[in-house]
Structure 1
Amino acid sequence: MWMLAAVAVFLSLTASHAAHNYGDALGKSILFYDAQRSGKLPGNNPIKWRGDSGLHDCVTGGWYDAGDNVKFGFPMAASTTLLAWGFIRFHDGYTSAGKVGQMYDSLKWPLDYFLKAWNPGSRKLVVQVGDGNKDHSHWSRPEDMSTDRPCYSVDSSHKGSDVAAETAAAMAAGSLAFKAHDGGYAGKLLHAAESLYDFAKSHRGIYSQSISQAAAFYSSSGDKDEMCVAAMWLYKATRQAKYLNDAKSFHENAWGWALSWDDKKIACQLLLFEETKSSAYRAEVEGFFKGWLPGGSISYTPCGMAWRDKWGSNRYAGNAAFAALIAAEDGIQATTYRKWAAEQINYLLGDNSHNGQQCYSYEIGVGSHYPKQPHHRAASCPDLHQHCSFEHLNTNSPNPHTLVGALVGGPDQHDSYNDKRDDYVKNEVACDYNSGFQGALAGIVHLQHNHHMPTTHNKCPCH
């Protein structure tokens, strides 16, 4: 009998994946954003191999985008919006993991940058610092940058409602996240968000068509989704009906391709459903997930990852998992969506076939087996003040510094992945890669805290 009991306990632990420490993964994801910081670093900087950088930028602070040294405002704002959304909705997840203070500190870094980037008097928003092409022709840590750092902006003559609205959304969501913590700061964010949204609404256009085409690495497919999301966060922050009406006018009755820095249709639909409980918006949300869940239009890897695209495959799965957990909180197919979301996150944390059955985590620093060669300049360089060049990109050895918490791009549709620094498709990292993933981690900790964690059955569980 004792043996049968022991087997039952083992099977229960295997099914629920108790081995995954979601709270630990959550805290480490925050550390990744600390490693992306530009500007004068604070005294409590936890990333000791990073130093001050970009001190002469036209706008200091913010996050470097990925493994490079450019600050792209569009994906930075999209990441901040998702992170703030997860912090607001799954605050008890952060509390349970003991990461609330760490998260406030993390969120404030890009929000401070956006406040400096937007000048309501001149109606000018800085949307990028650095030239991506020139930056990519060098391999050096941000502390040693020697290339030109051009500043790109949108204004009344150079329209960019997509990036302006997304930045307004980030600040409006940020104002709600900080409302109980620092009312003065929350008010400053909200005031800036309102004026920036008004600017975006009055100057519709795609920013990549306004600034140098060669410089715009993040070209948006449209601005309606950003306008809707911005209007919804302003409605949540102000309860002014004009913003809800705006959101409804910008809403698109179409299923999103994914939740990403470019495509936010599902975010718009979820936010509208939360406020209106309209069956029409619910149907759109369910339609999105009908495509994403097994049997839909999304391909699945043999081990069960919802595989949308080779560029950041982990990112798309993590973002969709976050959206599913939000939908479940809103009362939409909670049992189904929670189980599916948890299984996607389990895959990213080790329930996959890479490296045998050794629980290979695609989040660096989680568990014993994870990527050692992420495509990231600063992490690949030796200690500060030592020479760094393309030779450090091309060496086949682990990075000198562990980029804790970073979610790498991910495997191909066959679960195949190579930990090679020069494979920037599978092994680069980015601010937007971690954003929905981190929110999903907080959502799962929230489920554990409230005893709603589903039993999962991943196809390739780690043992």
Structure 2
Amino acid sequence: MANSFSCATLLIFCTLTFSPFTSAFTTEHYFNALSKSILFFEGQRSGKLPNNQRLTWRADSALRDGYSANVDLVGGYYDAGDNVKFGLPMAFTTTMLAWSVIEFGDYMKSELVNAKEAVRWSSDYLLKAATTTPGTLYVQVGEPNSDHHCWERPEDMDTPRNVYKVSAQNPGSDVAAETAAALASASIVFQRSDPSYSHKLLQAAMKVFELADRYRGSYSDSLGSVVCPFYCSYSGYNDELLWAAAWIHRASNDPSYMSYIQVNGHTDGSDDDDFSFSWDDKRAGTKVLLAKAFLENKVNQFVLYKQHSDNYICSLIPGSPNSQGQYTPGGLLYKQGESNLQYVTTSSFLLLTYAKYLNSNGGHTTCGGSMVTSEALIVQAKKQIDYILGENPMRMSYMVGFGNRYPTRIHHRGSSVPSVRDHPEHISCDAGHQYFNSGSPNPNLLIGAIVGGPDHNDNYGDDRSNYSESEPATYINAPFVGAVAFFSGP
């Protein structure tokens, strides 16, 4: 019996270890990728750019955001290749950037300062969105239908900058709870370096969470015409409520949030094992976050979350009895055709974070009757990160500016239209389409951007019009920051 158990363990580990590609990446390569993955966020900045802006082809934009509603909503991030500030993906991006710093900041060395700046650029904006008007959370700036009709650099955009909000009368528990999670996780990042700011973030998180919980409803119902089909909340809002409660508890140690999780943690599918983790569905992330409380502090009420975390992690492990992950012939986790790499970066982050948590409790878990070590989780995550960086059948990096071959025609307005420094004259909504339709490489390098990625057969066409494969997004990069930091070395 002991021998068969050992063989099962060996089988899983061997499946993970042997690959058609031998990694050529060193800690220096990973650190270079880390630097670039953080630099990408400077290219997504909205608002008044600071003097130390490093991607200098970008300039100030959207300096009157919020003006029509008599509020200051200048700042934050554009989510992807468009010029809208969507609150749900921006908040999730912030949470994942913060979690990256919390778990792997010690690995970031000199890049820790830049990583914290990336968190703060967003948390500053979310703090304004959450506290400017009592009982209200501003969740979007920009009219997406007109924005998506145009191909304009953000410095030129002249589409409506409408402001959208949720409140007691217009509920949005999903986006409000994710914002609470973002503010709470960011508060942990700044606990030591800026305790006053950290306190403001945490207090705002608690207030926004109260709004989300007391006035329940999906923002897809309240604001459906402007958030759908772009960022509809398909998973509902219970996952965000638990995710937010978990983060506020971690930031505050307030036992009332632990009680909230115990009371509300088994409603409307929250116990289901979902095998994706994204800006929309937080269940897997919440379970890993709460498993920490069981693994490290033996909070027995959270043992169920450890079991669910095991199920999620095991689903990703090839050769595991519980394996459910689909992989391309080249070994890339493949969840869906649209922006698939977002699922690769989130799952890689969770594999590494769970491996860290497991190391505090024996260093292994079980998948069916087989033991899986934390090292095996690290190996699996490394295969995914290496694939993104160039260890793949196409022999190309899916991070712009990394390696010798990478996407040059990404679906991104600011990158594809000549910069204001090179072309100071206004380029109109329609005039920009000549650059969209051009077969030439983008004139402005959005260094560090990770695109949507190849198809299910590992093919990538570097086609600007194929946004499913060629569009970068902040929520692809944010978990990658933590994952690649891990491989940069302590």
Q: TM-score, normalised by structure 1?
A: 0.90
1:256 aligns with 2:282: no
| Partners of 2:355 and 2:247 in 1: CA distance | 20
Whole-angstrom distance in 2 between the partners of 1:389 and 1:345: 34
In the alignment, structure 1 segments of 5+ residues that lack a partner are 1-10, 450-463
Counterpart Cα distance in 2 of 1:257 and 1:132: 30
Q: Residue 84 of structure 2 is aligned with which of 70, 74, 77?
A: 70
Q: Shift in Å at residue 336 of structure 1?
A: 1.4
Preserved CA contact (<8 Å) 2:23 2:386: no
Q: Aligned equivalents of 1:239 and 1:383: distance in 2?
A: 47
Confirm whether residue 17 of structure 1 aligns to residue 24 of structure 2.
yes
The 3-state SS of whatever aligns with 1:298 is: coil
Counterpart in the other structure of 1:102: 114
Q: Structure 2: which 5+ residue stretches go unaligned?
A: 1-17, 67-72, 296-301, 359-364, 366-372
Tell me, yes or no, if structure 1 residue 112 matches structure 2 residue 124: yes
Q: In the aligned structure 2, how far is the partner of 1:284 from the partner of 1:210? A: 32
Matched, 1:45 2:53: yes
Residue 322 of structure 1 is matched in structure 2 by 349
Partner of 2:283: 265
**Partner of residue 243, structure 2:** 229
Contact (CA 8 Å) 2:275, 2:315: kept in 1 or not?
Answer: no
Alignment deviations for residues 12-55 of structure 1 (CA, whole Å, 9 cap, x no partner): xx845334711111111111111000001111111111111111
Kindly indicate whether residue 34 of structure 2 is the aligned counterpart of residue 26 of structure 1.
Answer: yes
Residue aligning to 1:460: none
* Cα distance in 1 for residues equivalent to 2:437 and 2:286: 42
The CA deviation string for residues 53-101 of structure 1, in whole angstroms up to 9 with x for no partner, is 1111111100011100000000000011011011011111112xx2011
| 1:417–1:426 Cα contact (<8 Å) kept | yes
Amino acid at match of 1:28: K
Deviation by residue 1:332-369 (Cα, 9 ceiling, x = unmatched): 53111111001110011011011xxxx41101111111
Cα distance in structure 1, aligned partners of 2:467 and 2:132: 38
Residues 249, 15 of structure 1: CA spacing in aligned structure 2 closer, same or farther, 3 A cutoff? farther
Q: Aligned AA for 2:315?
A: G
Whole-Å Cα distance in 2 between the matches of residues 142 and 153 of structure 1? 22
Alignment of 1:275-354 (within 5 A): 275-277=293-295, 278-295=302-319, 296-331=323-358, 332=365, 333-354=373-394
Are the equivalent residues in 2 in contact too, given 1:131–1:215 (CA < 8 A)? no
Partner of 1:383: 419
Q: Are 2:93 and 1:79 aligned?
A: yes
Q: Mark the CA change 1:238 to 1:19 in structure 2 (over 3 Å): closer, same or farther.
A: closer
- Give the count of matched residue pairs: 430
- Partners of 1:147 and 1:394 in 2: how far apart? 21
2:290–2:306 Cα contact (<8 Å) kept: no
Cα distance in 1 for residues equivalent to 2:456 and 2:23: 25
SS at match of 1:300: coil
Partners of 2:445 and 2:278 lie apart in 1 by 26
Distance 1:241 1:321 in 2: 30
Conserved? CA contact 2:47–2:61, under 8 Å = yes
The residue type paired with residue 45 of structure 1 is Q
Range moving further from structure 2, 119-128 or 339-348: 119-128
Which residue of structure 2 lines up, in the alignment, with residue 203 of structure 1? 215
C-alpha distance in 2 between matches for 1:19 and 1:26: 12
CA distances 1:180-239 after superposition (whole Å, capped 9, x unpaired): 111111111111111111111111111111014244321112111111111111111111
One-letter amino acid of the structure 2 residue matched with residue 62 of structure 1: G
Q: How far, CA to CA, are the matches of 1:104 and 1:437 in structure 2?
A: 15
Of 321-330 and 241-250, the range deviating more from structure 2 = 241-250
Which of the residues 174, 184, 194 maps onto 1:162? 174
2:160 to 122, 126, 148: 148
Whether the aligned pair in 2 keeps the contact of 1:82 and 1:435 (CA below 8 Å) is yes
What secondary structure, in the 3-state scheme, does the structure 2 residue paired with 1:236 have? helix
Partner of 2:4: none
Q: Per-residue displacement from partner, 1:371-399 (whole Å, max 9, x unpaired)?
A: 00110000001120243510100000100
Instruction: Quote the residue 1:424 is aligned against.
Output: 467
Amino acid at match of 2:346: N
Residue aligned with 1:165, SS: helix
Percent identity over the alignment is 40
Contact in 2 for aligned 1:257/1:263 (Cα 8 Å) = no
Instruction: Measure, in 1, the Cα distance between the counterparts of 2:381 and 2:388.
Output: 11
| Correspondence for 2:455 among 393, 399, 412 | 412
Q: Tell me how far apart the structure 2 counterparts of residues 47 and 250 of structure 1 sit (CA, whole Å).
A: 44
Distance in 2 (CA, whole Å) between partners of 1:297 and 1:372 is 33
Amino acid at match of 1:411: P
User: In the alignment, which of 213, 218, 242 is matched to residue 231 of structure 2?
Assistant: 218
Following the alignment from structure 2 to structure 1, what is the Cα–Cα distance between the partners of residues 399 and 120?
A: 23
TM-score (norm 2): 0.85
Aligned mates of 2:293, 2:287 — CA distance in 1: 10
CA distance in 2, matches of 1:312, 1:442: 22
| SS of 1:126 mapped into structure 2 | strand
Deviations 1:382-429 (A, max 9, x none): 120243510100000100011100000001110011101111111011
User: In the aligned structure 1, how far is the partner of 2:227 from the partner of 2:103?
Assistant: 35
